[in-house]
C-alpha cells in the first residue's frame, strides 16, 4: 500500500482539479464530451492525476537497498 501513495494522491488531486475545472470553466454549449458533466470531468481528472503522479513513483525492483 505504501508504494502506491503517490498514485493515490494524484488520483485525489486530479479528481478535485477535474471537478473544479467543470465548476469554473465547464462547457457553455453542453456538447463537450469531458467537461459537460461533473462526473465525466472528475473521472478524467482522476485518471490524468493518477497517471501523472505515477511517473514519479520509483519501481521497487530497481531500488537498491
Q: How far apart are CA 2 and CA 35, in angstroms?
A: 32
Please report the sign of the dihedral spanned by the C-alpha atoms of residue 33, residue 35, residue 36, residue 37.
Answer: positive
Give per-residue burial for 31-43: e unless 16+ CB within 10 Å, then b. eeeebeeeebbbb
Taking only the tens place, the pLDDT of each residue in 7-35 is 999 999 999 999 999 999 988 888 898 88
- Burial category of 62 from C-beta neighbours within 10 Å (exposed 0-12, middle 13-18, buried 19 and up): exposed
pLDDT at 64: 67
* pLDDT of amino acid 54: 92
Amino acid at each position: 500500500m505504501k508504494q502506491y501513495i503517490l498514485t493515490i494522491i494524484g488520483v485525489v488531486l486530479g479528481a478535485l482539479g477535474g471537478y473544479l475545472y467543470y465548476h469554473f470553466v465547464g462547457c457553455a454549449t453542453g456538447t463537450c464530451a469531458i467537461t459537460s458533466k461533473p462526473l465525466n470531468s472528475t473521472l478524467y481528472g482522476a485518471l490524468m492525476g493518477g497517471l501523472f503522479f505515477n511517473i514519479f513513483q520509483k519501481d521497487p525492483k530497481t531500488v537498491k537497498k
